[in-house]
Structure 1
Amino acid sequence: MSIITRILDHSSSKPLHVAIQEKDVSITYEQLASDIRRVSNSMKLTVGVGEFVIIHASNSYEFILTYFSVHYTGAKAVIIASDSEKNYKEFVVNTVKPKLVVCDCKSYVNNIVQSNESNACLAQESEHADLMFTSGTTGEPKGVPLTHAQLTAATEHIVEQVGNTGNDVELLLMPLSHSFGMARMRSTLFVGGTLVIGYPLQRLKGVFKAIEEHSVTGFGIVPSAWSFITQMSKDMIAKYASRLRYIELGSAYLAPEEKRRLTEWFPDTNIVMHYGLTEVSRAIFTCFHTDDLEAIGKVSRGAKFIIIKEDGSKAEEGEEGEIAFLAPWMASEYYNNPLLTSKSYFEGYLLTGDLGKYQGEYLYLTGRLKEVINVGGKKVSPYQVEDVLNQCDGILESACIPFSDKNMGEVVQAYVVLEPENTAEFSEIVGNLKQYAAEHLPVHMRPQKFHKINSLPKTPLGKLQRLKLASM
């Protein structure tokens, strides 16, 4: 069953149940289904089955309506952020050659008149529903096509791990231009729950008000957004612990101490964190209350995986190598790029580019393959060095990249962001960092160069952009 079919079923089984709550406006499943048919009736006049529709994303009812109308029409949705760079937008348009581009969903929907014509849902499980493009922060964007069946399988997996039901009310804190936000939206509507939108995270008072007024029972969030909440309001969010049934985190690193703080603040909330890529969605999960907080996933909570060593053989327990996943919801190819597809899969498993190892029931992340620093033939994961530097007094966060060296090939250089109250001379800070690194790291892993910067370059969702460090 496709997600659009499931929504249509809800319109029959629970027609008056609220599907989307946008501030003070309530849209029932019956109204959502009716609006999808109305918009689809108009859309099919210009868009045929299997053709592309680009939609500029916004956290609005009209965007959600347009998205599902594309599926109802049997077309394929391509979602991009409205504030994407011009070159990125042009790349996507030139790649897919869309039949329709919807830049303003509100205007598009509001200009469609009611039609009495009845049309059937043309979504087919085996056909592509979405084409997601990676951000392209480390190269040309990659097109990831996903079928209706794959989206449904991914959604069922998420629902199983998160535990949301048709009785839940979810506050959407993620942008719908990102796969995390889209998956939370799909999961909520798939189970017949209520999705609350229109409360941007930057207006924290409004977020807390929404939790109270709409009896919110769960949400998804990225680590950088969680950090924003705690920095701006301390532990205020914890007062809602008794009403929150679930919290899903993902898309970036979260320190184990932050995970422990979450378990303390929300002792009875199902707190889970996913690890994955656009290609494989939530590949694997950990549960904060029961799992190893250093791990990125438990074997029984997601996709099958293998660890591939540098020589191409499969690693044994405890051995490091590249993580590769296999799952029913995984993309099986890249759009119009057979060469990239052939390089990215190993015996049907998707190569992630991440280094890891498994120990017992758990999978651990040890680094990023393309980010590994080769110091005299010894491989150094920047994550391990950063974890040490971040523990040094006065350091807010850090990032490491390679620096060319005529003797060693590469050495480690570190970029550090200081705590606001740290007013010491940088030469003194560097001395402390070198001493601390000498006490906690082997010689080849110790940074040889240090740079002070005001902030690390990151994507809007908090992912570090290491390539930009070299030009800073």
Structure 2
Amino acid sequence: MRIEHYLRESAERDGAKTAIVAGDVRLSYDRLLDLAARMATTLQRHGVARGDRVLILLDNGWQAAVTVFATWMAGAVICSVNPSSKGPRLSQIARDCTPAIIATENRLEGLVEATAGLSAIPRLVTGDGRSFQAGLEAEPFAADILPDTDLAALIYTSGSTGEPKGVMLAHENMDAAARSIASYLENTAADTILVVLPMSFGYGLNQLVTAMLTGATLVIEKSFAFPQAIFEKIRDERVTGFPLVPAMAAMMMQARDLDPSLFVSLRYMTSAAAPLPLAHLDRMRAFLPHVRLYVMYGQTECTRATFLPPEEIDARRGSVGIAIPGARAAVVDDAGLPVPPGTVGELVISGPNVMRGYWRKEAATCKALRPDPDTGAIRLHTGDLFTADADGYLTFVARTDDIIKPRGEKVAPKAVEDVLHRMPGIAEALVVGVPHDVLGEAVKAIVVASDPALTERDVMRFCARNLEDHMVPKVVEFRAFLPKTESGKASRRLAAQTATLTGSNA
């Protein structure tokens, strides 16, 4: 099914129900459908045709939701970019996707004008809520019947190289992922889902898509910059679903005198985008024992790959679960053949949720999408190292290119990070490899301390008590914060760019 049909069907079921809450604005399903249909006409009048790319440069908000569905109604492809993106990245993406139009807002016009290659592209400026609605065509869009094999989204991810790559997701890919996720989360129209994650990225966008699929209410917040305000919003809107990333979990657990009554309405929480440290997981479960916590793994290239049923958390410590319904997961060797349980190999994913490829990047596509040597079926090679137990439950080990090799011994950064997150006084931590004259490569810990008295020696001693000798960091650097990607994920690549062999206080 095409994704815009989710909105039409939910409006037909209960058009008066609240679809979107964003600040003081509340849109019913009928109103959201009307705005999206009239904006689709507006896009068409501006020359947007089937298959064209619409570059969406908007903050999280109801205007972004309208623009996304309007683009799909017009038969076009969304290319959402985080408004915090700097000019060079924005310019790279625009050159790559060649948008027919840019949908943006007043405060970002200066950025568009100053970014190479953007000023000549037609723009649709949303303005504030009133002017946005006034600028739409009066007539709703008369949609053609279009196939779900059409491209729906180009979602740009930097990966390990830093070069933007446009992940091509068709409507059928997004539909398969959304239905699978909604099934194991047991989403229904009774849910109220909070999204503070950027909807320009897969994890945030999926909250919008899943809400519209199930007829739920979506509460949209711009960011997690003011956690207490977000927690109060959860209470006031009686939110039932709260997706987060590990950095948000860390901030939540650091909050002083946090009142658990703010979260009484929560039915579930999800964690994706990066591995959730076990220490954070344990604290969250102890703090909110009534909440079902889903640990998940995914990539933009497949939206979601695995989930751990909450009832398996204690029995499967550290696991990210099994393949989502409708998908298949396997751990394979360099030849693409399955490895025995407990053996480290690369995770491969197959199923209808897997991307079409990378936009205009044939070599990268061929590297990521390869045939199963036994069946010939195309699989996504994730580039991530995993193990699987005898029951197929998967555990993340490391990114292939993140492995550190002091004196040839292999160290997975996550194994060291898990220990660091257990240490009292550490809020967040990343581990990277740095050059070393004797070892060849040394383990370096980059730490955000919640205890100002914590020292490099304290950290090394704690690690020495809990890790094998070759895994103990040789250098500890204290920082005020960890570098994050635009999606809010702590970035080992960005941290490694500034890593040195000398510890420092920041």
TM-score, normalised to structure 2's length? 0.85
Q: 1-side partners of 2:464 and 2:228: how far apart?
A: 45
Q: Deviations over 1:57-81 (max 9, x none)?
A: 3221111111111100001110001
The answer to whether 1:341 aligns with 2:341 is no
1:118 deviates by 5.5
1:256 deviates by 1.8
1:48 deviates by 0.9
1:176-215 pair list within 5 angstroms: 176-198=199-221, 200-215=223-238
Q: Which moved more, 1:211-220 or 1:127-136?
A: 211-220
Q: 2-side partners of 1:16 and 1:183: how far apart?
A: 23
The answer to whether 1:110 aligns with 2:133 is yes
Contact map agreement 1:49 1:122 (CA 8 A) in 2:
no
**For residue 358 of structure 1, what is the aligned residue in structure 2?**
388
Q: Deviations over 1:408-467 (max 9, x none)?
A: 4323233334343316xx5xx43x444444443333333333434333322251322334
Contact map agreement 1:23 1:199 (CA 8 A) in 2:
no
Measured at CA, do residues 442 and 196 of structure 1 come closer, stay the same or move farther in structure 2, by a change above 3 Å?
closer
Matched to 1:183, the amino acid is: N
1:241 deviates by 4.6
Matched to 1:386, the amino acid is: E
Q: 1-side partners of 2:14 and 2:219: how far apart?
A: 18
**For residue 504 of structure 2, what is the aligned residue in structure 1?**
none
Q: Which moved more, 1:90-99 or 1:128-137?
A: 128-137
1:287 deviates by 2.7
**For residue 245 of structure 1, what is the aligned residue in structure 2?**
267
Q: Which moved more, 1:368-377 or 1:186-195?
A: 368-377
1:148-297 pair list within 5 angstroms: 148-198=171-221, 200-236=223-259, 238-291=260-313, 292-297=316-321
Matched to 1:400, the amino acid is: V
**For residue 468 of structure 1, what is the aligned residue in structure 2?**
495
SS of residue paired to 1:272: strand
**For residue 448 of structure 1, what is the aligned residue in structure 2?**
474
Measured at CA, do residues 407 and 420 of structure 1 come closer, stay the same or move farther in structure 2, by a change above 3 Å?
closer
1:43-192 pair list within 5 angstroms: 43-45=43-45, 46-104=47-105, 106-107=126-127, 109-116=132-139, 119-121=142-144, 123-135=146-158, 138-192=161-215
CA-based RMSD: 2.5
SS of residue paired to 2:357: coil
**For residue 115 of structure 2, what is the aligned residue in structure 1?**
none
Measured at CA, do residues 439 and 311 of structure 1 come closer, stay the same or move farther in structure 2, by a change above 3 Å?
farther
Q: Which moved more, 1:92-101 or 1:210-219?
A: 210-219
Q: Which moved more, 1:71-80 or 1:120-129?
A: 120-129
SS of residue paired to 2:276: coil
Measured at CA, do residues 60 and 391 of structure 1 come closer, stay the same or move farther in structure 2, by a change above 3 Å?
closer
Gaps of 5+ in 2: 106-124, 372-377, 500-506
SS of residue paired to 2:126: helix
Contact map agreement 1:259 1:288 (CA 8 A) in 2:
no
SS of residue paired to 1:153: helix
Contact map agreement 2:234 2:263 (CA 8 A) in 1:
no
Measured at CA, do residues 352 and 60 of structure 1 come closer, stay the same or move farther in structure 2, by a change above 3 Å?
same
**For residue 12 of structure 2, what is the aligned residue in structure 1?**
12
The answer to whether 1:315 aligns with 2:334 is no
1:252 deviates by 1.9
Contact map agreement 1:320 1:355 (CA 8 A) in 2:
yes
Measured at CA, do residues 185 and 309 of structure 1 come closer, stay the same or move farther in structure 2, by a change above 3 Å?
same
Matched to 1:443, the amino acid is: D
Measured at CA, do residues 121 and 163 of structure 1 come closer, stay the same or move farther in structure 2, by a change above 3 Å?
farther
Gaps of 5+ in 1: none
1:37 deviates by 1.6
Q: 2-side partners of 1:137 and 1:234: how far apart?
A: 38
Q: 2-side partners of 1:123 and 1:220: how far apart?
A: 32
Please, which of 418, 437, 441 is the counterpart of residue 410 of structure 1? 441
Q: 1-side partners of 2:219 and 2:428: how far apart?
A: 33
Measured at CA, do residues 160 and 363 of structure 1 come closer, stay the same or move farther in structure 2, by a change above 3 Å?
same
Contact map agreement 1:57 1:176 (CA 8 A) in 2:
no
Measured at CA, do residues 152 and 422 of structure 1 come closer, stay the same or move farther in structure 2, by a change above 3 Å?
same
**For residue 40 of structure 1, what is the aligned residue in structure 2?**
40
SS of residue paired to 2:255: helix
SS of residue paired to 1:444: helix
Q: Deviations over 1:219-262 (max 9, x none)?
A: 212221232233235442x2145422222221122222322333
**For residue 304 of structure 1, what is the aligned residue in structure 2?**
328
**For residue 354 of structure 2, what is the aligned residue in structure 1?**
330
Q: 1-side partners of 2:140 and 2:302: how far apart?
A: 38
Measured at CA, do residues 134 and 117 of structure 1 come closer, stay the same or move farther in structure 2, by a change above 3 Å?
closer
Q: Which moved more, 1:256-265 or 1:30-39?
A: 256-265
Measured at CA, do residues 13 and 90 of structure 1 come closer, stay the same or move farther in structure 2, by a change above 3 Å?
same
Q: Which moved more, 1:223-232 or 1:347-356?
A: 223-232
1:166 deviates by 0.9
Instruction: Give % identity.
Output: 26
Matched to 1:5, the amino acid is: H
SS of residue paired to 1:181: helix
Q: 2-side partners of 1:218 and 1:393: how far apart?
A: 29
Contact map agreement 2:346 2:381 (CA 8 A) in 1:
yes
Contact map agreement 1:73 1:122 (CA 8 A) in 2:
no
Q: 1-side partners of 2:231 and 2:467: how far apart?
A: 43
SS of residue paired to 2:12: helix
